[in-house]
Each structure stands twice: as C-alpha cells, then as structure tokens.
Amino acid sequence: MKMKKWYSIGKLLEAIGIAAVMLGLVQGIYGDMWGELYLLLAGIAVFYAGRIIEKKNVS
C-alpha cells in the first residue's frame, strides 16, 4: 500500500508540472516572458521530481 501511495504522489507531481508548463505558455502568449520562464523552470523541476519518485516505486 505504501508503494502505491508514493507512485500516486509521483504521478500527481508530474501532472502539476505539466500544468505549470501549460500555464506558463499561456502567460507567455499574453506577454509576460519572465513569468513564462519561471513557470517553465518550476514545471520542469516539479515534473522531474515526480518522475524520480515514480521510478523509485515501480518494481
């Protein structure tokens, strides 16, 4: 059960990371390039953290 919990947390972090990147894209379309950059970097970091957690708990 504990393994399933961490797997789900990893997937949730991946989804949050993708959402942050998409939000950054929309923000960039409206002209805020620094906001787009910050959301892009944060989204990549969160997605990668989720990917690491997910991979450690799949066996």
What is the SS3 string spanning the chain?
Answer: CHHHHHHHHHHHHHHHHHHHHHHHHHHHHCCCHHHHHHHHHHHHHHHHHHHHHHHHCCC
User: Does the pLDDT of residue 1 top 90, yes or no?
Assistant: no
pTM equals 0.85
- The confidence score (pLDDT) of residue 59 equals 63
- Structure confidence at residue 34 as a pLDDT band (50, 70, 90): very high
Domain assignment of residue 33, given as a range: 2-56
**pLDDT for 57:** 82
Output the CA–CA distances (angstroms, integers) from residue 57 to 5, 8, 32, 51, 53, in the order listed.
Answer: 9, 10, 38, 10, 6
Q: Domain tally for the chain?
A: 1
Q: Please give the Cα distance from 38 to 20 (Å, whole number).
A: 9
